[in-house]
Structure 1
Amino acid sequence: MGHIDLDQLLAEMVSTEDLLIVQDLDGVCIPLVKDPLTRVLDPAYVWAAKSLEGSFSVLTNGEHGGHRGVNCVVERALGDPQLPAKQGLYLPGLAAGGVQLQNCYGEISHPGISDAEIAFLAALPSRMKTLLEQRLPALLPQITSDEIQTLAKMSVLDTELSPTILLNGLFSLSPDDVGIQQSLQIMLHELMNELMNSAISAGLPNSFFLHIAPNMGCDGQRERLKPAAPGDVGTTDIQFMLKGAVKEAGLVVLINKHIAKHKGRAPLGKDFDVRSAPKTHQGLLDLCRKHIPVDQMPLLMGVGDTVTSNPSPDGTGWLRGGSDRGFLTLLQNLGATYNRTNRVVLVDSSGGEVYRPSLADERLQGISDPEDPLHFDVLVPSGPSTYVAWFRSLAERRSGR
C-alpha cells in the first residue's frame, strides 16, 4: 500500500480540472486531543480551504455549530469570531455523519431531520451525565463523588445532532489496566443501549443508531465494540446518531451537490440527502451508475484517519471498521466504475493525545490486513502537520494555474 508519494499526489491534483476533495477533520487536519474543546487548527489551513472553494468539502462525524463544533475552532484559529462569516471562511460540507450541511458562510441546515428527533437529542446530554454518575462509582471506587461529577461532565459531548460519551479521560485514570478499560467500554455500551431503548419508547424506533469509534466493523445491524487490549485501548467513544448519517451516503450527497454547482443540474435531484439515500454500499454505487453520467463525475480524493482491521476471534477472517472506511471504500469503487484515478489518503493520527494504531508499523497492524479490499494510495505517517503543509501547497499551486 502507499503506491505514490505526496509529491506525485500534488502533481495529479494540481493538473485535475474537475476535482472534489472529501476530507475528514479530526485526526486529519486537527490533531486528536482528549478534550475536543482544546482542538487547534492552523489558520493557514483555513485560508487554503477557502482558496480551494468549489473543489473541497468536509465530511465529519463531528458537528459544525455549537460551542463544541469545528466552527469555533475556525474562529479561534483566525482570532476573530466575525471574520469567517464575513469572508466565507467556514469549512463547507457535511457534519454529524451527513445530516448537518453548511456552506462557507456558516449557514447550516439539517435536511431530512424532524422536530421530534431534534427534541429527543437535545435532552440526551443531561441524561448521559446522570447515567454516568450512577454507574462510574462501581467501576472507579477510589474516585470521590465530586470527581465523579467532574469526570462525567467532561466525558459527555453535548453536540446538537450526535451527543457523545468519550472514555479518554476515564482511561487516563487506569492507563495500563486493560480490565478496567474493558469494563468501562461494556458499561458505556450498556448505557447507550438503554438510551436507544428509550428512543423506541418515545415513538422513534427507526430514528437513531450508535456509532462506535473505533469499531470492529458491523454485524449486519450494529457496529461492534473494539475491546481494549495491551497496547491498544480500542473503543474510545460512542455517538448517538441519526440513522442515515453515515459517511458513504454523505459522499454521494457531496458529489450530487458538486455536479449541481458546476454543471447546473443535480443528477440525483436538488433535495437528495443522506436520509433518502440507499442504505447499502452497493445501493449507493448502483444509484450513481444509473443517474450520474461519466462526463459529470469529478475526480475524487478522499482523506481520512480512522480505518481499522483486526483478526476475528475465531481466526476465520477479519473484522474491518473505522468511521472513514465506508466512504473511502465507496470513493475507491467509484473510481473503478467511472475509470477515474480516485485517490485514497490515510493520515496517521496516532501522534495526538488519543491512542490510534500508527502508520509507522509497515504492516499497518490494526488498520488494514493482507486481504483488505480498501487500498491506500498515499500514507501520511507524519500526521496532520504534514498533511496541512501539503494541502496549503495544493491550494497555492491550483490558484496559480
Structure 2
Amino acid sequence: MKKDIYEKMIILADSAKYDVSCSSSGSDNNHKTGELGATHNSGICHTFTADGRCVSLLKVLLTNFCIYDCAYCVNRKSNDIKRAAFSPRQLADITINFYKRNYIEGLFLSSGIIENEDHTMLLILRALKILRFEYSFNGYIHVKLIPGADDRIIREVVSLANRVSSNIELPSDKSLKLLAPNKTKQKVLQPLKYARDISLEKDTKPIGMSTQLIVGATPETDRDILKLSSVLYDKALLKRVYYSAYIPVNDDKNLPAIIDKPPLLREHRLYQADWLLRFYDFTYDEILNEQNLNLDEEIDPKTSWALQNLSYFPMEINKVSKDELLRIPGIGVRGVFKILKARRFKSLDFDDLKKLKISLKRAQYFITCKGKYNSKVSFATDTIKQAIIEPPKKKIIQPSLFDIEYSAITGEL
C-alpha cells in the first residue's frame, strides 16, 4: 500500500471508530512490526451474521472532512484534526485488495459531509458501482446513508448495499437542535423511510436497516430512549438500534462536564432491554414507566420487571404458556422451547430442568416445579433482589493429602 494511501487509511479508520452500528472494533497490542503476532487494527472491525458467524469488515470513512459542526463528533468542522479523503476508486481498490488477501469479508462505509449531502452520497455510490460492476464484488456492504441526500441517489445505493443505516444519534429534536443544529429527526429518518419503502416493493431484495443512539450526552431517560426504539421497530424502519455510551472527545459548553468513564453499564442494560423489545414481546412501558424512568443498573431489565410484578409469580413450569415462560428471568428463547418439548413427555422437576441445561441461578426464585418452590429465600422483592445481587458463596472444602494421593492413583476427581 502506498504511503499516502496508508496514511489516509490510518486517519479515516480512526475517524470511523466511534460508530458502533458495525459492532466491535479491533484491539491494540504492543508488538512491534515484524514480530510474531504483531497486528494493526486500522479499519478492521467485526460483526456477526444471523447464524452467529463472526465477519471481518473494512470499517472506514470515505472522508472526515465535514461541513457539519455536531458538538459530540470528533470530525466536526471546527475541530483541528488531520483530514483526508479517498477517491471512490481508491476506496474500491483498497477493499478488493484487502478482500483478496483474506483480511476482510466485507465493507462498512460511512463519511463526513463534503461540499453537500448529494455530492457525498454520489461519491459513495461511485465506489459501490466500481465494486459491484467492475470488480464483481458480491461481498457484504453496509453503507451509512447521508441525511438530506436526494432520494434517487439513495435508491441506487440501497439497491447495491446489503445493509444501510442513518444515525439518529440523539433521542429528541431538542437535543439535536442543541448539539447537532444541521440535523433534525425527520431529516435523519427520511433515508430510512425511503429505504424501507424500496424494500417493500415487489421483486426488490429486503435490506437490513439500523441506527445509533448516543447514551449520556443529553438528559433523556432510558424510557425516552426505549420509547423511540420501540416506535422505530413498530414502523419497520429498523432491524437494529445500536446504543453508544457517550465518550467525551470535544470540549463544548452544551456537552456534559468531563466524566470519569463512559456509562458502559447503562449502555449494556439498554441492549438487554432492547433484546426484550425485539425477541420477548415486551413493550417499552412494561420495562419502564413514569415511576421508573431509568433501568436498574444492579440487575437486568427482565429480572427488574419480574420483581415489580411478583403477582405473576411463582409460575408453575409445567402449566404456564409459552408467552409466560418467556417472562421468567434466566430462561431464554431456546430454554423455553426445550421446556415445551420436554413437557409433552413428562411433568418436569428441578432436576429435569438442570438436565435440560436450564440455568436456575435467577429462575429458581420465580418458578415452581410440580407445585414445589425450590429457593431457600423468602418470596419477597427485597430478599430475592438481594440474593440475585449477592448470591451465597460456595464453601471451598480443602482436600486432604489422602484425597490428593488417591485421585492421582485412580484418576478420579
How does the TM-score come out when normalised to structure 2? 0.28
| Higher fraction of strand | 1
Q: Based on CA coordinates, which of the two structures has the bigger radius of gyration? A: 2
Pick 1 or 2: higher relative contact order, CA cutoff 8 A, min separation 6: 1
